[in-house]
Amino acid sequence: MEQIAESDAVAIGPGIGTHQAVAGAFFDVLKSCEKPMVVDADGLNILAQSPEKAKDAKIIPVLTPHPARPVD
């Protein structure tokens, strides 16, 4: 959380995985962070498994759903 405190904004999700402990930490950040936040990748997968927990967020994060496609 120290890195979040020193940041102007937060991006969470890419590469974090979806294990239960990670999901718990993700929701802890969602509930406590008051900085602008972007949720992408595994963060979206975690949120999709428990969408009701989004109501606990301090701020409304930007969600970045997009269709997967190969990079040229």
Domain ranges, ordered by start, for the chain: 2-53
Q: How far is 39 from 26, CA to CA, in rounded Å?
A: 10
Q: Name the one residue in this structure whose structure tokens are 């969602």.
A: 30
Instruction: Decide if pLDDT at 38 tops 90.
Output: yes
DSSP 53: G
Residue found by looking up tokens 């008051």 in the block: 34
Task: Indicate the pTM of the whole model.
Answer: 0.86
- pLDDT the model gives residue 72: 61
